[in-house]
Structure 1
Amino acid sequence: MSNLVFQALVPVVLLIFTGYLAGRLGWVGGKSTGDISNIVFLVLAPALLFRTMSNVHLESIDFQPVIAYMSAMGVVFVLVMLKQGFNRRAAVMGLASTFSNTLMIGVPIVGLAFGDAGLVTLFSLVSVHSFIMLTLVTVVLEFVVVAEENRARAAHGESAPLAVRARRMALTVCKAAKGAILHPVPLPIICGLLFAQTGLPLPGVVDKALQLLGSAFAPMALVLVGITLASNAWAKQIRSALTLVIMKNLVHPLALVVIGLAAGLSGLPFKVMVVTASLPIGANVYLFALRYRVAESETSAAVALSTIVGLASMALVMLSVPLLPG
């Protein structure tokens, strides 16, 4: 297994470092980074996701590890909220402690370590990962925002009608759910699964084109991670970000192991979920921090630090995975 970890992680490190070097030397930056990101997420990722799932039948997918994964996310999120209090900062901290970078880092790691079978398990999680967690956090954050506004109005002797508050909440939640579904990550997974159920094969020329595009995703995504790290002023926030990194990189996979073993899970799908739980913090966390104007610098630093530390913590988790049943 140690050789497998070495073979999976060393290419990841080299590609991230390549991107970091390109960013630091000024070869790529500014608007170019956004253009590369669009190519990775809007072109390469959908091709890989659709093609992988276009041959997968629903009855062959084991959703138990996915349920265990989401349960572990929920447990850690609630613990953070209880510790931090019911406020915007607590919700963002809870998301940072549970939301994995399943695409840019998860796909290359799982693909190299577990092959196509591992990717099918990962994509079954990805299809619901963003939808459930981002919608849930949006609901929590909107409740917090409404509560804060009500307190502010009450302090001034004002109050908005209940119907107005309920309508605003419903519109926000619907918008979040729609954005989570009509997204370049879950949408091609769902379309690929639907196509697979027809039993039709992909035309050869289409399949080859998707294969070529999909094979470019992993190296491009990892280089993009490095470029992003080079442009991120995260060093000043290391101390405040460290707690989030520990929660995400270590506590989250540990919670999943406990829940999974209690549920009697075993085999490759469970191991893939554990490795996925050890992945660094996903960039969507920073976007939420920006949207709700809370802990922006802290979450930005946590995303960067989690990625760097994650290379070691993922190695630790992957070396421990053979000890799990099956």
Structure 2
Amino acid sequence: MLTILIHDILPIFAMPALGFLLGRFALISLQEAAAVNRVAFLVLQPPLIFPMIAGIDFATFPFATMAVYFACEVVAFVATYVLARIVLRRPHAEAWLLGMAVIFVNSFLYILPIAQLIHGEAGAGPVSAVVAVDATIWFSFFIVTTDLSTRGGTGLRRTARRIALNPVLLAILAGLVFALLHLQIPDPALTAMRFAGGGAAPMALFALGVILSTTPLRPDRTVATIAGLKLLAFPALIWLALGAVDAPPDWSALLLLTAAGPSGASPFALALLYRIDTRAIAPVIVWTSLLSLVSLAALA
């Protein structure tokens, strides 16, 4: 466990930790980090997402197993949203993204690199499947619904145009078209996308660390509740559901590893993009990132 923690997990965790330290010592400003986050989100993520989705072989995709995982995500999201609205009394948009923070694991930028380091690209297939489902379904869902709930009053035509031109959504759609039609990405284009996409994870994690360094980290009731749901309740739900359907052991192990990962940066990035209060979302990401280190090393 210690070897995995040192060699495979901490190197990935180093980027947000570096950003956090530089932010604490005021060497990188909040405005600079927000600009980096915007570039990573809107410019570098599309070339990272597109080839990954375009490479999905739907003929061998484990729909039954992933349907169970997806159903658990739906249950956990709805339960978290209702709890955040009724018990914790959070505004709609914030409660929406807190629900996203529970189910939207940092699988793309954090868990997948760790799984690839440990098991190789082929062995990390279950994590890639979660990334594909989260990117094509959940990410699109949260971008559209957050945009509608915060900017819906700007006019249906303008809202539809803004959503339709979102670079991340366009990359997801293009990837699905390539995957379903079995189209090949030209090698020069693939090389360019791999080169650009390689910067998405470290830049996003670094910016996240800087921005989180300006946020009070003392956990209040909301932060403790959401972090507990993310680190304990959600993995427990996945474990029970996969055990009930007798999923393949290798898939169960890696899907459980993914579910036990920290909250992804996307809820925070969306909150920044749409000017939603981040005072609860940010500490949730910090605490789940810290507290998941040991559990990830044990499960890996």
| Normalised-by-shorter TM-score class | 0.7 to 0.9
Q: Superposition pairs for residues 1-326 of structure 1, below 5 Å?
A: 3-80=3-80, 86=86, 89=90, 92=95, 94-117=99-122, 118=124, 120-125=128-133, 126-132=135-141, 179=163, 183-231=166-214, 233-238=215-220, 240-285=222-267, 297-316=279-298, 318-319=299-300
**Please, what is the CA RMSD of the aligned residues?**
3.8
Identity %, equivalent residues: 24
Could you list the runs of 5+ residues in structure 2 that have no partner in the other structure?
Answer: none
Q: Give the aligned residue type for 2:238.
A: L
CA-CA distance at 1:7 after TM superposition: 2.7
In 2, the alpha carbon distance for the partners of 1:81 and 1:222 equals 25
In 1, the alpha carbon distance for the partners of 2:278 and 2:200 equals 28
Q: Give the aligned residue type for 1:62.
A: P
In 1, the alpha carbon distance for the partners of 2:147 and 2:83 equals 19
Q: Give the aligned residue type for 2:248.
A: S
Length-normalised TM-score, structure 2: 0.76
In 2, the alpha carbon distance for the partners of 1:279 and 1:243 equals 16
Provide closer, same or farther for how the CA distance between residues 274 and 11 of structure 1 changes in structure 2, counting only shifts above 3 A. same
SS at match of 1:89: coil
List per-residue Cα deviations over 1:16-46 (Å, max 9, x = no partner): 2222222223332232112211221222221
Length-normalised TM-score, structure 1: 0.71
List per-residue Cα deviations over 1:93-148 (Å, max 9, x = no partner): 54443332344434433443444343531332221122456778999x89xxxxxx
Q: Give the aligned residue type for 1:217.
A: A
SS at match of 1:194: helix
Q: 2:37–2:208: 8 Å Cα contact kept in structure 1? A: no
Q: Give the aligned residue type for 2:19.
A: G
Provide closer, same or farther for how the CA distance between residues 45 and 269 of structure 1 changes in structure 2, counting only shifts above 3 A. farther
Q: Give the aligned residue type for 1:50.
A: F
Provide closer, same or farther for how the CA distance between residues 27 and 296 of structure 1 changes in structure 2, counting only shifts above 3 A. closer
In 2, the alpha carbon distance for the partners of 1:138 and 1:28 equals 29
Structure with larger Rg = 1
Aligned length: 288
SS at match of 2:230: helix
Q: 2:147–2:274: 8 Å Cα contact kept in structure 1? A: no
Q: 1:20–1:228: 8 Å Cα contact kept in structure 2? A: yes
Q: 2:33–2:208: 8 Å Cα contact kept in structure 1? A: no
In 2, the alpha carbon distance for the partners of 1:45 and 1:290 equals 15
CA-CA distance at 1:15 after TM superposition: 2.2
SS at match of 2:290: helix
